[in-house]
Structure 1
Amino acid sequence: MARAGSLALASAFALTLGTAACGSSQSSPDHTTPHPPTAAGPAPGTTPAPSALSESDLKARLLTAADLPAGFTPDATATEANGHITTADTHCQPLATLMNSDGAPPGATATAEASFTRSELGPDIATGLAAFPAVEPAQNLLNTVSAATKSCTTLTETDKDGTSYDFAVAPLNFPPTGDAATATRMSADIGGYPAQVDIVLTRIGSTLLYVADTGLGDADVGLTEDVVQRAVAKVRAA
């Protein structure tokens, strides 16, 4: 059901991420551009970047069930649900390629992921981190996702059993977070039930963070915002 469609999208950030990120003509482009940095800092490439984080570093910064709101437990079935993303729209192809990368975006030196669920009907939270050797490649990937939101409107996810779902995609109005961010909502009818996936892709230094919140019916934006705040804070506190 919804989990199968969401995890394939979430597994590659856009972001996620995201994945999850594609936009509709009814939405403002401002929703899809990276937010200004929350604090002044050097422009990408102007100063040497610290050493890229290792996989163990990322795992130490990744959310656990104890970091989440009450009721969430690790989802051991998450990795079994990933499908394949396709699109007939050339504007969407970079996103489809990213979403099929199994959580390892081009240029990343290390990745870590985790998934959590509250019930069989959701909500489900998928989150991940990707380390880059410098700020610039991380921001470039975020820019690619953000730019695609202005022209891509539909992606198709096909499960391993051959079942396909068409996801309508639109920018999501989301508070500024991290050093830069973009947010997307993907919605579909799955087995006669409405499902939504809200994906937020955030850059913190040279690390990209995604959070995907999936559920039947209307997505809980407040929950998404809460989880993203917790995830950003944990990365920065480490």
Structure 2
Amino acid sequence: MPMPGSPIAIAAACCLLLGGCGASAGPDQTATADPLSETQIKKALLTIDDLPSGFSKDPDLALDEEGSTDDVTQGTKQCRDLLSALNDENRGKPFGEGQVGFKEGDAGPFIEEQVTSFEGSTIKKSMATLREAFASCKEFQTKDSEGVVTEFTVAPMTFPDLGDDSIAVQLGAIESSVDFEIAMSLVVVRVDQNVVLLGNYGLGSGLGGGKFESIARTAVDKVSQASQS
């Protein structure tokens, strides 16, 4: 199902561009663990066994590595930075990354996970920068290459604190070509030198909060175990 801007892609790009996650400043003397390789990340990703019954793996939900062609037509500078990051081919390269997607049906709910691992000492700062960006970006409007306009809203979301640091926001998206809203729950969690991004969305709403919380805890636990092994 085509989505008007993946929430995972938006958060990942913001983390990379605004926080400079990929720009290593040398070995982080305060790090408690080494960054994960792509092989380690692949083993730590969610599997179908971690999802409620009725879900199936959906390769179409993997992060679009080619980026987005959407332009922000309305919104604050933070909103513009958030989306312009998706078109930046010069973003710093992480040490390792991996992603996976699942769906319950054609209209959702959809669950996306991306795990990205970084070297250097910028990861803590990047989380603070990402939090500030979401706090400053309450609503924005984008237009894609085909002229389709999408209106986004951003609001804080109540969610348990996970990992070493976490951010949770609720996004809404309405395309000009359709008459329904896509609700997106986005959770960003730092675990040592790794960032776990989880998106939960669908037409009208995503997976129920309690079930999504359980999935998020499982995802964070798996990355934490991989990081400490």
Shift of 1:159: 5.1
In 2, Cα distance between the equivalents of 1:45 and 1:76?
A: 34
Moved more, 136-145 or 172-181: 136-145
In 2, Cα distance between the equivalents of 1:152 and 1:5?
A: 17
Paired residues in the alignment total: 209
Alpha-carbon spacing, 1:107–1:83, altered in 2? closer, same or farther (3 Å): closer
In 2, Cα distance between the equivalents of 1:91 and 1:216?
A: 26
Secondary structure of 2:141's aligned partner: strand
Contact 2:34 2:193 in 1 (8 A): no
- Describe the superposition over 1:46-86 as per-residue Cα deviations: whole angstroms up to 9, x where unpaired: 54554321111111111122221211111132259774443
- Using structure 1 for the length normalisation, give the TM-score: 0.75
Moved more, 56-65 or 202-211: 56-65
Shift of 1:213: 0.2
Moved more, 48-57 or 205-214: 48-57
Contact 1:197 1:214 in 2 (8 A): yes
Shift of 1:163: 2.3
In 2, Cα distance between the equivalents of 1:49 and 1:105?
A: 25
- Describe the superposition over 1:79-100 as per-residue Cα deviations: whole angstroms up to 9, x where unpaired: 5977444334212233224455
Structure 1, gaps ≥5 residues long: 19-43
Between the aligned residues of both structures, percent identity stands at: 25
In 2, Cα distance between the equivalents of 1:158 and 1:78?
A: 21
Alpha-carbon spacing, 1:59–1:157, altered in 2? closer, same or farther (3 Å): farther
Residue 93 of structure 1 corresponds to which residue in structure 2?
A: 80
Tell me the C-alpha RMSD between the 2 structures. Answer: 3.0
Residue identity opposite 2:155 in structure 1:
A
Contact 1:117 1:123 in 2 (8 A): yes
1:140 to 103, 106, 125: 125
Secondary structure of 1:149's aligned partner: helix
Moved more, 161-170 or 201-210: 161-170
Residue 210 of structure 2 corresponds to which residue in structure 1?
A: 222
Q: 1:53 and 2:36 equivalent?
A: yes
- Describe the superposition over 1:154-201 as per-residue Cα deviations: whole angstroms up to 9, x where unpaired: 233545644231111111121111110001111123411121011000
Shift of 1:105: 6.3
Residue 106 of structure 2 corresponds to which residue in structure 1?
A: 120
- Describe the superposition over 1:107-127 as per-residue Cα deviations: whole angstroms up to 9, x where unpaired: 522211111111011000111
Residue 60 of structure 2 corresponds to which residue in structure 1?
A: 77
Shift of 1:106: 3.6
Secondary structure of 2:41's aligned partner: helix
Moved more, 151-160 or 187-196: 151-160
In 1, Cα distance between the equivalents of 2:195 and 2:150?
A: 27
Residue 233 of structure 1 corresponds to which residue in structure 2?
A: 221
Shift of 1:203: 0.2
In 1, Cα distance between the equivalents of 2:88 and 2:98?
A: 13
In 2, Cα distance between the equivalents of 1:78 and 1:17?
A: 19
- Using structure 2 for the length normalisation, give the TM-score: 0.78
1:11 to 1, 9, 12: 9
2:165 to 169, 180, 198: 180
Alpha-carbon spacing, 1:165–1:4, altered in 2? closer, same or farther (3 Å): same
